[in-house]
Amino acid sequence: MDKKKAEPRDEAVTEELKGVPEEFLDDGETGDQDSDDRDGGSMDDALARLVADLDAAKQEVLYAKADTQNLRRRMEKEMQDARAYAATGFARDVLSVSDNLSRAIDSISAELREDDKFKGLVAGIEATMRELDKVFAQHGISRIAAMGLPLDPNQHQAMMEVPSKDAEPGTIVQEMQAGYMIKDRLLRPAMVGVAKKPD
């Protein structure tokens, strides 16, 4: 009975497969089983490859996210620095104006300060100097302390040595030009004279 049922099916299949080359035809059950085993093995291999590819892709995504986050942080810091230190070049140029105002105030004698004709002029120069210092402070520009302090090569530039009995060697005893910081960066070092032991 099974044979009778199988025969018409075989004839129908044979009819459909007319013209197909023999090497492509599968004629036995053992071939089907081998094929199933091969497919099962290859399915396991394919699944293992897919899992490995997925893991590799996950790692690449994590690395890409980390790189993007680092880049974003670096860009934010660069933008903050650009905002904070944008005025550096301008501030360095304006320091010469501050130096000239300081020299002008220092050169005014006590007599001229008391003279009624010059009192207004002196007051105006001093007010301008105070306003300039106020603007510097608003933009994070501060004067470097120097006199009486030990020489700090990060903030002071020694221009000469001055023999001194009163000050320890290496102590700043003279300031030729004021130094300035802009926030936490050096804008201009203070040019100073440093004490040394007398000969």
Q: What pLDDT sits at residue 166?
A: 84
How many H-runs (helices) and E-runs (strands) does the chain carry? 5, 6
Confidence class of residue 189 from pLDDT cuts 50, 70 and 90? very high
pLDDT of 27 higher than 60:
no
Confidence class of residue 72 from pLDDT cuts 50, 70 and 90? very high
User: Are the C-beta atoms of residues 198 and 164 closer than 8 Å to each other?
Assistant: yes
Angle at 79 between CA 74 and CA 84, to 5 degrees: 125
Q: Extract the runs of DSSP E, i.e. beta strands, from the chain.
A: 141-143, 156-163, 172-177, 180-182, 185-188, 190-196
Identify the burial level of 6 via C-beta atoms within 10 angstroms of its C-beta, where 0-12 means exposed, 13-18 middle and 19 or more buried: exposed
Query: Of 8-12, 104-108, 135-139, 172-176, which gets the smallest average pLDDT?
Result: 8-12
User: Are the C-beta atoms of residues 123 and 175 closer than 8 Å to each other?
Assistant: no
Sequence letter at residue 126: E
The token pair at 2 is 């099974």
Tens digits of per-residue pLDDT, 137-177?
Answer: 988 899 999 998 998 999 999 998 988 888 888 889 999 99
Q: Which of 189, 21, 3 is nearest to 95 (CA)?
A: 189
Q: What pLDDT sits at residue 41?
A: 65
